[in-house]
Amino acid sequence: MVPGLLVFAVQIFVLGFSLIILWRRFFSPIKTVPGPFLASVSRFWHLHHIIKGDQNLQLINLHDKYGHFVRIAHNEVGVSHPDGIKKILLAPLHKASWYKFLSIPDYRYQTPMSTTDPKKKVERSRHFAAGYTMSNLLQTEDSIGSVIDQFLAWLDRSAESKKAVHLDKYLTFTAFDIAGEVLFSKRFGFLKEGRDVGNAIGNSLMLNLYASTMGFFRWIHVILIGNPFMTSLNVLPSGHIFDTTVRALDDRLNNRDRNRFDVVDHWLKAMEKNPGQVLLRDVYAAATGAMGAASDTISCALQSFVYFMNRHPNAWERVRGEIEEAQRTQGLCRDRVLASKEALRVFGPVSMTLPRLAPPGGLTIGSKHFPEGTILSINPWVMHHSRELWGSDAREFNPDRWLKDDAGELDRYFMPWGQGYNSCPGQHIARIELSKITATLVGDYNIRQVDKNQDWQWKAYFTVVPHSWPCYIERRAGNELSSW
């Protein structure tokens, strides 16, 4: 009797599974959208390339092959249409449920980024917005500068030693320490110790992979790991970054008598003004999210700048000339380095799709209509490498494109920090760091890779952070050209 019931159960399962596959392939409202066969019946095509670490390149290839609309999962369509950013990211659409995973370390720690309802997200962001305004961040400029000075001292020592160095690691150390200063008025000591303190950086790669895949199976994550019990055991994959943040924030709460405001100050004021709406747990969650975002995105941006400058003929000399000319004729700040903007376009930190839900009544983009509830996503890499938008040299590093008359038009499609109501709140911090560090690198140093033909290594999970491209550093005595 039991074997017969087992056989019947298996038959029912196979039948049900087959019907789901048939419906997704032949009867789904998005059945006519082209793409890989596996993507038309499941999420597994996308998951395979996330795990492989090449989803960004594969998505570019799909759009090259199929055009503006590509089915990347049974319920998701990737969009590269010129109107896509305006109609998907700049519109108040609900985010897909994948974002709910970004409540770290468990579901209690909600942040604006993990909130999918646009109205609730905007309301939650309102309490934290003051900490991210440019005017308030500029109050931390001296502290940011002191961290950069510490980084430059390391560069000088590296130049004196004439030995190959791992610039990628120290750019990440710098990003972490600046985040500590801006958030908590306390750097973490990465630069001082010259190592990954608390394994916060080493752990981030696996956390990236875990987040980018398990976000599609959040219920499994909540049951197994993302719950208060597992948080109390301190064995979470997010444990290192969360522990680093908690220690810094605990120290910060016990030392509120300081001479300047930092980001956490503004958040604590919001908590005091809005009791019951902003909890201390919300501050911990926001700080953890900010730490993870700051370290990965800034490190990627800075590395991309140096890496592609080294691969572009005479880039260092050309950018130095442009800065000197701008200073001489227009009085512009030394911090203006447009090549860093181009580096972010060619190799940006966000490799994951940015998914939204089609609203009631559906959404029409170009000549294509998508029914309500369809997941429509924009991928920054796809948009940044579109030849339709950027020209035939879209896949090339070309800082000159930002000096042309139509550069303002290109800004519509430039999205390293996202666009719309869910754009990165810490992008002002990133701009301050990038402008200061890249300008100093251009003006004061010559940098070259040990092996100019060696490609760096990276994996495109939630974000993409390159590594393993050792360099030589040379201090410039003046405005001479490099002897290299």
Half-sphere exposure of 286 (CA within 13 A, CB side): 30
Residue 140 is given by DSSP the state G
Radius of gyration of the chain (CA): 24
Find out whether 424 is annotated in a ligand binding site.
yes
C-beta pairs of 10-15 under 8 Å, 24+ apart in sequence = none
Whole-number Å distance between alpha carbons of 340 and 152: 18
Q: Which of 466, 464, 474 is nearest to 441 (CA)?
A: 474
Cβ atoms within 10 Å, residue 110: 18
Residue-wise over 161-170: b if at least 16 C-beta within 10 A, else e? eeeebebbbb
φ, ψ for residue 370, nearest 5 deg: -120, 130
- Whether the CB-CB separation of 194 and 173 falls below 8 Å is answered with yes
Whole-number Å distance between alpha carbons of 41 and 79: 19
Cβ atoms within 10 Å, residue 343: 27
Handedness of CA 276, 278, 283, 289 (dihedral sign): positive
Half-sphere exposure of 314 (CA within 13 A, CB side): 6
- Whether the CB-CB separation of 284 and 180 falls below 8 Å is answered with no
Whole-number Å distance between alpha carbons of 94 and 357: 6
Whole-number Å distance between alpha carbons of 443 and 52: 38
One-letter amino acid for residue 218 of the chain: R
Beta bridge partners of 354: 378
- Which residues are within 8 A (CB) of 232 and not within 5 positions of it... i.e. 6 or more apart? none
Q: Can you list the alpha helix ranges (DSSP code H) found in 278-386? A: 280-311, 315-330, 338-346, 380-384
Residues of the binding site = 424
Residues of the binding site for heme = 424
